[in-house]
Structure 1
Amino acid sequence: MKIVIGSDHGGFALKDGIKALILEMGHEVVDVGCDCTDSVDYPDYALPVCEQVVSGEADRGILICGTGIGMSIAANKIPGIRCALVHDTFSAKATRDHNDSNVLALGERVIGPGLAAEIVRIWVETPFSHGQRHETRVGKIKALEDKYSIHP
């Protein structure tokens, strides 16, 4: 699996550990930045992650900022993205199993590196449950997106 990862300055420190974990799990990782702790704007890093997921260039994406909130809001503005802000292992499993999330948002200032690694491992390893009720619900999310997205 190819996973693209991005962070702002508030998630920069956690990003390296997550990248190492993804590689250790046998997956490919693409880092789109940022590369320092200087203040940057999270939408500038959410966009390239989400564009690679939507285009199929990457299978999934991970976004990290201070709380995960800004990244998740920015990511969910992009049609085709189902980004879940996760700070516990139950939600990490549920968002893949039930919602087929394709982007994970984490908050470096909210969770520690050990819990973040456990969340990422669970999120990466959990498949989407293709049962009718879950597929129906994800389809309804797509219908909302289609209805309210501006198409050029």
Structure 2
Amino acid sequence: MAYWLFKTEPDAFSIDDLKNAQNQTTLWEGVRNYQARNFMRDEVKVGDLVMIYHSSCKLVGVVGIAVVTKAAYQDPTQFDLSSDYYDAKATSDNPRWVVVEVTYQSHLDSLVSLKEIKANPRITDIALKKGGRLSIMPVTKSDWQIITHMAEE
């Protein structure tokens, strides 16, 4: 099992939206960065745990936990002309983008803010601390445990 951080803008899709989704599950669509796509396509696996991170909002930080319930497959929005994520260069024979499905597990007891993550010297590997801006990034088991423990304090 691996650990991940998935960023989302809560005005577009929040942890509450995930909790309220049918079967508390959604496909994680619209990733349009090649490195993030490669993580989803090549490394994110069923059973991996995901920190849901709210960005571009008033309260930025880790807000909840999800689990990957379906491995990568073609992102259907890349073919949908009406979608914000439409990609004219994508074809069904040569898709450019993928999705995974995630299922809600829990809200954290309290938000763990970016400021708190950056200030904690025990968190050493997470890309957020180094200015990482990817929408999907790996999290070490150690950093995962520290961040989830911070939410309980």
Q: TM-score, normalised by structure 2?
A: 0.27
Q: Which one has a larger percent helix, Structure 1 or Structure 2?
A: 1
Structure 1 or 2, whichever has the larger Rg, is 2
Which has the higher relative contact order, 1 or 2, with Cα contacts under 8 A spaced 6 or more apart? 2
How does the TM-score come out when normalised to structure 1?
0.27
